Amino acid sequence: MIRHFLCLSDLGSQQLLAVLDDADRFLERRNQGTGHPLRNKAVALVFDKASTRTRLSLEVAVVELGGHPVVITSATSQLGRGEPLSDTARVLSRMVHAIAFRTADESRIKELMQYSSVPVLNALTDQGHPMQLLADLQTVRRAKGRLQGLSYAWLGDGNNMANSWLEAASLLQLRLRLACPEGYDPDAQLLARARAAGADVEVVRSPREAVAGADVVSTDVFTSMGQEAEQAARLKAFEGYMLDRKLLALAKPDAMVLHCLPAHRGEEIEAEVLEGSHSHVWDQAEARLHTSKAILAWALASDE
């Protein structure tokens, strides 16, 4: 069976933890070499949207695992001129061993998966950002020594990052409070699924309520890629949701601050918080490399 990675549920709880263990091994052995599980393998990194970290981490991960990354952006390929994804998928499948894809609507990555005969990894859609969550979970587990039994807060938009946090909560039975303004709630199905799976998850309107007593506080931009026309309305809707020192003071004294980046200082996060002693954002960014290796190794491992 082809190992596509659309969302964290494609791994399941046990495999998710195994991928994080693998990512830890990649982190710890970085300077001693990590073997070459991707030797002679090419991986296409296809971007409909901009990226710094995802492109960088995947590209370096493929190189360090002995493979060859090929970056394709819509703007500089036939994708941008309307070549169907179904055709692109079949051509890529004849030449590369895996494809990572960043796009807007999830239907596009599903179409790519349908026509691809090699694994496809979700490098962000409007609905989820599972590769980022792998990095976030690795960062928390390395700092706190565990994932379960902690209190997690999410502040801001209920879109891709919040949805992937809900999935993590589902798989690992986490306590998660998401503070989102009305009209910006996360996916209702994912919320229901997390509750059914035994996770203690609530969507609240008050950022103070979400952050109170939290061990981990995460946020993200208020205006995601593709939503630029809504910026003014969003800034108004998200008033009071900025993670600042006053809000963070309500969390546990040793609370961690996460942000997947890029950050807009003074908008969703105060500069002093992003740069402050609670912030783990640079470890979190580095974790993208180690977790990219782990998920590539998982996707390319054959089912025995």
Contact partners, residue 238, CB within 8 Å, separation at least 6: 156, 157, 181, 184, 222, 268
Binding mask 139-178 for ligand NVA (x = CB under 6 A): --------------------xxx-----------------
Q: Which stretch binds ligand NVA (CB under 6 A): 12-20, 25-33, 90-98, 221-229?
A: 221-229
**8 Å CB contact between 223 and 231:** yes
Contact partners, residue 81, CB within 8 Å, separation at least 6: none
Q: Where in 248-287 is the site for ligand CP (CB under 6 A)?
A: 260-261
Q: Which is nearer to ligand CP, 51 or 151 (CB)?
A: 51
- Residue 129 bears catalytic tag: yes
* 52 binds, options ligand CP, ligand NVA, none, Cβ within 5 to 8 A by partner type: ligand CP
Q: What is the CA radius of gyration of the chain?
A: 19
Q: Where in 86-145 is the site for ligand NVA (CB under 6 A)?
A: 124
Query: Which of 52, 76, 78, 117 contacts ligand CP by CB under 6 A?
Result: 52
User: Closest Cα to residue 48, out of 69, 68, 76?
Assistant: 76
Sequence letter at residue 256: M
- Residue 260 bears catalytic tag: yes
- Cα 35 from chain centroid (whole Å): 25
Q: Which is nearer to ligand NVA, 41 or 288 (CB)?
A: 288
**8 Å CB contact between 118 and 98:** yes
**Residues annotated catalytic, as ranges:** 102, 129, 132, 220, 260, 288
Residues of this chain that interact with ligand CP (CB under 6 A) are 51-54, 124, 132, 260-261
